[in-house]
Structure 1
Amino acid sequence: MHFRLAAESDRGLVESLWDYCFEHREDPFFQWYFNHFYQPENVLMGFEGDDMACLTHLNPYTLCLRGKAVDTSYIVGLATHPAARRSGVGGKLLTAALKEMKRRGHYIHILMPSKAGFYQPYGYELYCHQWKETMNLEALRPLTDRTVRYAFVNSPDQWPYLAAIYEGYTKGLSGYALRDEASWRSHIEAQLAEGNIAVCFDGDEPIGYAFYQLGEPTIISGEFVYTCRKGKRGLLGYMYNHRSQGDAFQWNEGIHDQSYRFYPDGKQGHETMPFMTGRIVDVKGALEQLPYRADGTVTFHTEDPLADWNCGTFTLTVNNGKPKVTQEENKQPDVTMPIGTLALLAFGVMDVNDLAFNEKLQGNEKALQTLQDLFPTEKNWINEWY
């Protein structure tokens, strides 16, 4: 099996497999994606002889990870032709994708899984969950604020309103995508192709926005962002005003948001949604680009089912905040862990003691404390869908 990046002439093949596996050609998102977002040089294709067997899109993003901008690839549209399924093609495609991302200098990457269980054996672990809330519109009334005002966003030129709210929401968070003017314009164009965008204001200050779609009994918001409690209540009030156009409202919010404790009935319509996985592409490259707030040295052993360059024993040394990673030939590790656990540490998903309790790593007490000092937990959030 051989892999290569797509050329302009491959667009028909790429579109056909997306149409078969995901949205159909007539879908507004399909039309927007392939007319405005698609770049063939970011599509990796796998062939058996002359026949395309699989492909994936490696869309470039910049994450804010522990307060630092980190270039990454976001794997989307990973698809296998039905004739090639159940033959191990998926694992081969992921290995080829890791090689390509390493070549690009993207040492950490993200993937939104349709089934997390498929990807976990390959070293992918969930770094970001969200709350998924579903409430009857009538039940929103006590959660609303009537002192805000509203406006529509109907042009990408209005992106600064959303950017200001997004910046306020993500302050103190990690793992989220940094958005510049070009990416904001792209997000707005994609949303307006299939739905609406509302912004709420406190005076002249934008404090919340929602991407949403009408037409079904449940109004669904694809992005629901606010800078303060009043902004959130204002958005819920805006949705409450749609009682003649729907029965319920569904939105996602960061797992760090605990206001669900104050909803009238937290037993109904409140669930977690596994949202995004993170993975190490290259151990040395990943750990040497992270910021550190403590110094220390730890030697660890890891195994990677897809990337042989990540298998072995490594020493991470941080001195005056500057990291260095060396691969060891004849040194006993202080800690052992699979490659997926290393991603959880890099993203700050779980406390080291919790990882040890769940048998995701093993090590002596001193080494585990060093890991905790080097990789404190973070509040992770991201809401990129493609």
Structure 2
Amino acid sequence: MDFRLAKEEDRDLVESLWAYCFEPREHPFFQWYFSKFYQPENVLMGFKDGEMACLTHLNPYTLRLRGGDVPTSYIVGLATHPAARRSGVGRLLLTAALKEMKRRGHYIHILMPSKAGFYQPYGYELYCHQWKETMPLESLRPLTDRTVRFAFVNSADQWPYLASVYEAYTKHLSGYAVRNEASWRSHIEAQLAEGYIAVVFHDDTPIAYMFYQIGEGTITSGEFVYATLQGKRGLLEYVYNHRSQGSEFQWNEGIHDQSYRFYPDGKQGHETMPFMTCRIVDVKGALEQVSYPEQAEGSLVIQTEDPLADWNTGTFRLTVRQGRGSVERTEQEKPDAVMPVGTLALLVFGAMDPADLAFNEKLSGSDKALQTLGTFFPTEKCYINEWY
């Protein structure tokens, strides 16, 4: 197969496959995405016998990971033409995408899976879940706060209201997208094409916001963010006021939130939602790009195996000093820890503790090696809420 980045004249091909696999052309999100967000240079296309067989969008993002900013590609819209399915082109497309991301200096990347089981054999692991909450509107009453006030966001110019809340919410989190003015404007425009945005204020200070849609019976919120508990209660008060327009509320929020423990009926409507996978694009680049705890000192020999990227299969010595890492290939040394590349991604993102990974047979190593890995890669509260 031949792979190349899209050109402006490929737009109709790209749009046609998106419309076939995802939203139709008349859908508001489709209209917004291809008029405001789409950039052909971020679309990788695969051709077989001169015909387009598959493509994926490599949207650039910056992640705040372990306190540092890391350039990242977010794979969305991965699609295969029906005539080319079940022929292995998906694997070839992912390998080609890894090569392109490595060329761009994006040494880790993220992907939201429709089915995680498809991607896990290729080195992708879930680093971020969310809570998916569903409650009858009447059940919200004891969780509300009537001392706040509300406002609509109806223009991208109002982005600072949301940005201040988002920054407060993510202050102690990791793995989330860094949003600047341009990305905020993009998020707001996309949401207003399909629904509404409400902001909660305490006096003149914004303390919470949500993106939401009103459906038949169910009000849904895809982004539910708050700086304080009062802000969260204010959002629930706002939704409670919609009892004439719906019967239940469904919202997503970070899995680090534990206020579900204090819901009147925590047995109902509380479930986890697998949200985002992470992957290492280049072992050396990734381990030298991320930050380490200042007190972490030492070195470790790691052996990894990658089913798609042969440059990641081998033995690497990681040396950490003063919060930075350096990596060299060292095929002659015996590894201290052995793991697939997907496990290494979970360590880098801080999604799991080395001892838990070892228990789940995702890595092997001595107790000393596990302790060193835990010092280099302490667990983090992971969060992200980007949908495209």
Kindly report the root-mean-square deviation, in angstroms, between the aligned alpha carbons of the 2 structures.
0.6
Shift, 1:170, TM fit: 0.2
Which residue of structure 2 aligns with residue 101 of structure 1?
A: 101
| Aligned counterparts, 1:321-332, within 5 A | 321-332=323-334
- Is the 2:301–2:316 contact (alpha carbons within 8 Å) kept by the matching residues of 1? yes
Equivalent residue number for residue 281 of structure 2: 281
Once residues 107 and 320 of structure 1 are traced to their aligned partners in structure 2, the CA distance between those partners, rounded to angstroms, is 21
Counterpart of 1:29 in structure 2 is 29
Q: TM-score, normalised by structure 1?
A: 0.99
1:134-185: per-residue Cα shift (whole Å, max 9, x none)? Answer: 0011111110000000000000000000000000000110000000000000
User: Aligned partners of 1:332, 1:178: CA distance in 2, in Å?
Assistant: 39
The equivalent position to 2:355 in structure 1, one of 320, 342, 353, is 353
Percent of pairs with identical residues: 78
Moved over 4 A (4+): none
- 1:126 shift after superposition: 0.2
What residue number does 1:364 align with? 366
Q: How far apart, in 2, do the equivalents of 1:322 and 1:260 lie?
A: 38
Equivalent in the alignment of 1:335: 337
Match of 2:255, as an amino acid? I
Q: Measure, in 2, the Cα distance between the counterparts of 1:322 and 1:70.
A: 14
SS of match in other structure, 2:160: helix
Partner of 1:64: 64
Work out the CA distance in 2 between the residues paired with 1:237 and 1:154: 20
2:379 maps to amino acid: T
1:83 aligns with 2:90: no
Structure 1 position 212, deviation (Å):
0.3
Counterpart residue number, 1:219: 219
Question: Shift of residue 217 of structure 1?
Answer: 1.1
**Residue 189 of structure 2 corresponds to residue 192 of structure 1:** no
In structure 2, distance between residues paired with 1:27 and 1:217? 21
The alpha-carbon deviation at position 81 of structure 1 amounts to 0.4
Residue 375 of structure 1 aligns with which residue? 377
Q: How does 1:143-158 map to 2 (within 5 A)?
A: 143-158=143-158
Q: Which amino acid is 2:307 matched to?
A: P
Q: What residue identity is the alignment partner of 1:21?
A: C
Corresponding residue SS for 1:194 = coil
SS in 2 for 1:55: strand
Question: How far did 1:321 drift?
Answer: 2.2
TM-score (norm 2): 0.99
Could you tell me how far 1:50 is from its partner in structure 2? 1.2
Q: For residues 259 and 227 of structure 1, what CA distance do their matches in structure 2 show? A: 14
Unaligned ranges ≥5, structure 1: none
Deviation at 1:80, TM superposition (A): 0.3
Structure 2 Cα separation of the partners of residues 188 and 11 of structure 1: 24
Q: Tell me the alpha carbon deviations over residues 263-285 of structure 1, each in whole angstroms, 9 at most, x when there is no partner.
A: 11111110000000000000000
1:207 aligns with 2:207: yes
Question: Equivalent residues in 2 for 1:249-268 (5 A)?
Answer: 249-268=249-268
CA distance in 2, matches of 1:326, 1:89: 32
Quote the residue 1:39 is aligned against.
39
1:261 partner amino acid: R
Query: How much does 1:329 deviate?
Result: 2.2
Deviations 1:41-61 (A, max 9, x none): 000000001110000000000
Shift of 1:322: 2.5
> Deviation digits for residues 70-109 of structure 1, max 9, x if unmatched?
0000000000001100011100000000000000000000
